[in-house]
Amino acid sequence: MEKRDKFKKIFKEALSYIIIILIVIIIRVFIFDPIRVDGPSMNNTLKDGQILILNKFIYKKSDINRYDIVVIKLDNGEKIIKRVIGLPNEEIEIKDNKIYANGEEIDNSFAATITDDFNTSEKLGLKKVPGDKYFVLGDNREISKDSRVLGFIREDQIIGKAVFRIWPFNKFGKVK
């Protein structure tokens, strides 16, 4: 009986660690994931090397909104971080460093650089953002590889919303 009791004790201890590891894996795979900012395309909002928490579950229960900072998985597997500017079925135009959605000016205060004129009809061949796609921009518009280069982003390419910055510690807090 002594060996059996010893085995039970070891099994009980190991089981608690196994459960914790499984919970962490489930959370990381399905709900939250750390993501590192790679490059200057989101300056000044996000800087190269910062680490964010990506909420992968948020869009299962709510819509993608204008100005959300999202992580996009491109078809080549590369992950990029951009800001949602144009929503499905909207006409997006950039003129004189101002952004218009359906003819109305929208907030462009996060832009770190001048944004060149852009019209989706001329550059992407469609007047409006298709019904299951989004128009995204980096905040550092001069160098950002975004919808002006990549075209519209499919909803299934958006893997989550950047919600919290955890590194560097002096910038710790909610991502805006």
Q: Where in the sequence numbering do the catalytic residues fall?
A: 41, 82
Token digits of residue 19:
């459960």
Phi, psi of 35 (to 5 degrees): -140, 140
CB 64 within 8 A of CB 155: yes
For the chain, the farthest-separated pair of C-alpha atoms sits apart, in whole angstroms, at: 83
Question: Which amino acid type is present at position 37?
Answer: V
**CB 117 within 8 Å of CB 78:** no
